[in-house]
A and B are shown apart, each in its own frame.
Chain A
Amino acid sequence: DAKTTQPTSMDCAEGRAANLPCNHSTISGNEYVYWYRQIHSQGPQYIIHGLKNNETNEMASLIITEDRKSSTLILPHATLRDTAVYYCIVRVLWAPYNQGGKLIFGQGTELSVKP
């Protein structure tokens, strides 16, 4: 699975859009970009994933550059409850049998939403 690079921390004002970048310059053609978040010591929570097209769901939008070497997770109107560590993970959708569906977490970005 390709490695990802994320800023260690970011701040965002409540009500504003939070844009969290992720670099994955060694991504392969069959690898997807996934985002999870972890609110203090709770279990990680799936947010969104995509291959090359931009994706949007009720939680967030995912923008992937045309060369797929980087992506941005957008929380359109951040609230205090969005304060969390956000993990960008790159992995294949169909893994070999003995590799299963494991997630490899990096250090993530600690997002602080401030009033």
Chain B
Amino acid sequence: EVQLVESGGGLVQPGRSLKLSCAASGFTFSNYYMAWVRQAPKKGLEWVATISTSGSRTYYPDSVKGRFTISRDNAKSSLYLQMNSLKSEDTATYYCARHLMGFAYWGQGTLVTVSS
């Protein structure tokens, strides 16, 4: 059974940093692109980042480019999202997802609140 478990969310002040983690199990992690997708409270879904199988290629929308960095450790079956210079509009639940022909599997999400 595919399982994705996010951690690392919490309350952070504007301008500060936070790093999210996602532990994957139930599939060969190194064979799949992985992604982060977020959802602001009571709002829709927004793709945040994607990383290739080896980690050599990364993709971001303009809204987070230059501030967020996606990475992975295939030996640990883990995905990460380093978020710097956080803004109030980054407040959201962040989901880890397996990215192949859509976002096929999702974790339960971790809430990030950016507020002073």
State yes or no: do A and B come from one complex. no
